[in-house]
Amino acid sequence: MRWVYSSLAALLFASAGLPAAAQEPARFTVFVQGRAIGTEQVTVARVEGGFLVSGSGAVAPPVDTVTKKYEIRYDEQWNPVEASLEGVVRGQPVSIRTSFSGGTASSQISQGTQASSKTDPVSAGAIVLLNQAVTSYEALAARSASLRPGDKLPVYVLPQRELPVRLGSVTDERIQTPGQLVMARRYHLIFENPSGELAFELWADASSRRLLRVLVPTERYEVVREDIASVAARRVVMPREGDEQVMIPAAGFNLAATISRPANQPPSARPARLPAVVLVGGATPADRDEIVGGVPIFAQLAARLAEA
């Protein structure tokens, strides 16, 4: 792949403290062309003198990487102090150890039987990405919350170079999982690579600013937090009062469905029996809202029928 897929970064929060939710480990599923090919895990924790971001993962070909362990340490102001990575890339063992000081990143790199060292300039406040795990976008998710469309943020792809990321636009989204309704923000971002711009999407929890999803449409590459990747999770494209999410038992599997009731129906100990219309998308895989060209056809039909 030509895009920058990475491993964790400079997670700058507006406040000095770290939200409690951000300290919980998160597990992600990696997809290529809709097929699950790997998993990644990431943890953000407060340690003496600052913060520690660590993780691991394994992704099958065509990516073909194993991240045994990575760690990135930051000071209290979220300036990077040091980073390390131990893993395997396409069968070759890889080791990276980097220290940050005075606006310079000094790296010792080992891949297979080859060893090298290099230094690169790093801007103040840059996000540091390791070239091994997309869980680095935890940092970008946190920082994007303070950006406005058109703003740029420097990222240092370790051990390659620094480049800017530009925010194009932001939209609010809702994701219904079996356990909760997640209020999310969908950031449309652009990597300003020397070889050309690369657009991608980043979804983050609106309250905790934790990473939910990264999508690179041109590569059909997607990394999704485990609960969001569940077949029972769905994007709520047309929320309305009176809708209820249900699971219908079937032979060998369950069917996920939405029941749309009249929004103005008064509460009653014995609800009135109402006529029902069942909308079924067909035998092929499809969202229950039957979205075509961005239009939730079934969701709109159900809403009108419920109020008829």
Tokens of 296: 């939730």
Tokens of 262: 């009249």
Please give the average per-residue pLDDT across 278-285, as a whole number.
67
Query: Both 222 and 242 in a single domain?
Result: no
Query: Both 199 and 255 in a single domain?
Result: no
Model confidence at 247, in pLDDT bands (50, 70, 90)?
confident
Distance separating alpha carbons of residues 67 and 256, to the nearest angstrom = 35
Please give the average per-residue pLDDT across 70-84, as a whole number.
85
Query: β-pairing, 243-250 with 196-205?
Result: unpaired
- Low-confidence winner among 1-5, 21-25, 138-142, 242-246 (lowest mean pLDDT): 1-5
Please check the confidence at residue 215 and state whether its pLDDT lies above 90: yes
From 229, 255, 284, the end of a domain falls on: 229
Distance separating alpha carbons of residues 211 and 224, to the nearest angstrom = 9
Residue 9 within a domain: no
Query: Both 224 and 247 in a single domain?
Result: no
8 Å CB contact between 67 and 56 = yes
Name which residue leads in pLDDT, 90 or 139.
90
Distance separating alpha carbons of residues 164 and 132, to the nearest angstrom = 19
Residue 13 within a domain: no
Distance separating alpha carbons of residues 179 and 182, to the nearest angstrom = 9
Query: Both 33 and 69 in a single domain?
Result: yes
Residue 174 within a domain: yes
Please give the average per-residue pLDDT across 235-257, as a whole number.
75
Query: Both 137 and 275 in a single domain?
Result: no
Tally of domains within the chain: 2
Distance separating alpha carbons of residues 178 and 49, to the nearest angstrom = 38
The boundaries of the domain holding residue 274 are 237-306
Question: What residues pair up with 234 in beta bridges, in sequence order?
Answer: 176
pLDDT score recorded for residue 306: 76
Residue 5 within a domain: no
Q: How many CA atoms lie within 13 A of 200 on its CB side?
A: 25
End-to-end CA distance of the chain: 51
Q: CA angle, 193 as apex, 192 and 195 as ends, to 5°?
A: 130
Residue count (the chain)? 308
Q: How far, in Å, are 64, 87, 113, 156 from residue 109 at the CA level?
A: 19, 12, 11, 16
Name which residue leads in pLDDT, 200 or 304.
200
Q: Which of 143-147, 238-242, 256-260, 261-265 has the highest mean pLDDT?
A: 143-147
Nearest to 61 by CA among 114, 1, 131: 1
Please give the average per-residue pLDDT across 274-285, as a whole number.
70
Please give the average per-residue pLDDT across 218-231, as a whole number.
90
pLDDT score recorded for residue 24: 73
Distance separating alpha carbons of residues 71 and 135, to the nearest angstrom = 12
Q: How far, in Å, are 161, 289, 302 from residue 276 at the CA level?
A: 60, 17, 10
SS3 content of the chain, % helix, strand, coil (to 5): 10, 50, 40
pLDDT score recorded for residue 53: 84
Residues of the chain above pLDDT 70, percent:
83
- pLDDT tens for 160-170 read 999 999 999 99
pLDDT score recorded for residue 187: 98
Residue 6 within a domain: no
Nearest to 119 by CA among 132, 106, 130: 106
Name which residue leads in pLDDT, 171 or 130.
171
- pLDDT tens for 112-125 read 999 999 999 998 87
Name the pTM for this structure.
0.77
Q: How far, in Å, are 100, 109, 250, 284, 301 from residue 281 at the CA level?
A: 55, 53, 16, 8, 12
pLDDT score recorded for residue 279: 75
Tokens of 26: 């998160």
Query: Both 223 and 241 in a single domain?
Result: no
Please give the average per-residue pLDDT across 12-37, as a whole number.
69
From 187, 205, 229, the end of a domain falls on: 229
